[in-house]
Amino acid sequence: MAGSEQPPTAAGGGGPDGGSLAGGGEAFGDRSLNQGLSVLVGLALCVTMLGLGCAVELGQLGHQLRRPVGLLLALLGQFVAMPLLAFLLALIFALDEVAAVAVLLCGCCPGGNLSNLMSVLVDGDMNLSIIMTASSTLLALFLMPLCLWVYSRHWINTTLVQLLPLGAVSLTLGSTLLPIGLGVLIRYRHPRAADLLVKISLWSLLVTLVILFILTGTMLGPDLIAHIPASVYAIAVLMPLAGYALGYGLATVFKMPPHCRRTVSLETGCQNVQLCTAILKLTFPPELIGGMYMFPLLYALFQSAEAGLFVLAYKMYGRDSYKQDTLGEEEDTDISYKKLKEEEVADTSYGTVTTEEHNSIQMEPTQTAL
């Protein structure tokens, strides 16, 4: 029995914030609503992965595999830049092990579906966006547990990190392959149904986040603010913003065109918060993770708000330049076409004159004979 009482004590001993977080865990464990919340999180993850699979076309996937720029960008952005960013923020803000694990887990997650929607709004490269999201999800099967193991070494002497369920994380990631594969099959067999499912998955993202906020607020009550340190709120604001900047810089290094830079920026900063929430909810005991279960929801709130500001700024200031560039390309095409037609007309008239001259030359001997 002593062993069963150790985790809450250890969680509370992680620092001044640890005790309050453990109290939040008791709120999760003592309510019957907790079971329904777990079911909701699991269903939301399945719908999200199904929508992701429905957005993938096998022809585009084969093209990207032959020229794996999107795969490389997904690797560098999601499993090099973002985990390192999460680790550095956890160190800078001196988080305890509970908050640090939640932040690291979110930083190690693959890209989310929100980036696909936002890429459309900023006239981005949708093929690149979808391939990056799908690639990072598949790479997460191997790289996400590895990143968690590497970056959690700083807190290795704490109970939470010693009990870090890497096997359960891998199992949760593996379970996402089934809905993704089903979505790819639906896209191949029934494209119209796949388009509908993609829209449903995007709407479910918004609805699920709203429901989770409401249910979590109900379960934690007015003590919600006390369970989450101010430093965690600061990280939830800074982390997606820094991710967008890192993604844009990464695309600039690869000398990609502006619309691809916007796409890579959104893909890097937008994390799969449904997956992060599911892992925290389904693999960690509630008395250990406590109120930090809320971190991916806070991240989702701020990543959506900041991406919305990104879209608004583009609509106000960047859209005109994009249209001018597009119009310039069209004018160049029209000018080239006109020149080609003029050359064709000139060649035809020249040929006619030559023919007439040739005919007149043929007619002269006949007239002489007469």
Three state DSSP letters for 268-311: HHCECHHHHHHHHHHHCCHHHHHHHHHHHHHHHHHHHHHHHHHH
pLDDT of residue 35: 65
φ and ψ at 64, to 5 degrees?
-70, -30
Query: Using an 8 Å Cβ cutoff, are 41 and 282 in contact?
Result: yes
What would the two tokens of residue 85 be?
Answer: 């960013």
pLDDT of residue 17: 42
pLDDT of residue 217: 63
DSSP code at position 111: B
The more confident residue out of 347 and 76 is 76
Per domain, the residue ranges of the chain are 40-317
- Examine the pLDDT at 252 and tell me if it is beyond 90: yes
pLDDT of residue 190: 87
The DSSP H or E segment spanning 343 is: helix 319-369
Mean pLDDT of 271-288: 80
pLDDT of residue 348: 44
Residues 17-62: tens digit of each pLDDT: 443 444 444 554 445 556 666 677 778 778 888 888 888 777 766 6
What's the farthest any 2 CA atoms get from each other in the chain? 130
* CA dihedral over 104, 107, 108, 110, signed as positive or negative: positive
CATH top class, domain 40-317:
mainly alpha
Range of lowest pLDDT (101-105, 184-188, 252-256): 184-188
Q: What is the pTM of this model?
A: 0.72
Question: SS3 for 40?
Answer: helix
Mean pLDDT of 225-232: 77
| Buried b or exposed e, range 254-275, using 16+ CB within 10 angstroms | eebebbbbbbbbbbbbbbbbbb
List the one residue out of 95, 96, 117 whose CA is nearest residue 238: 95
Going by pLDDT thresholds of 50, 70 and 90, the confidence category of residue 154 is confident
Mean pLDDT of 257-266: 92
Alpha-carbon span 198 to 51, nearest angstrom: 5
Angle at 266 between CA 265 and CA 269, to 5 degrees: 85
Query: Using an 8 Å Cβ cutoff, are 109 and 275 in contact?
Result: yes
Alpha-carbon span 166 to 151, nearest angstrom: 13
- Helices then strands, counting H and E runs in the chain, come out as 20, 0
pLDDT of residue 108: 93
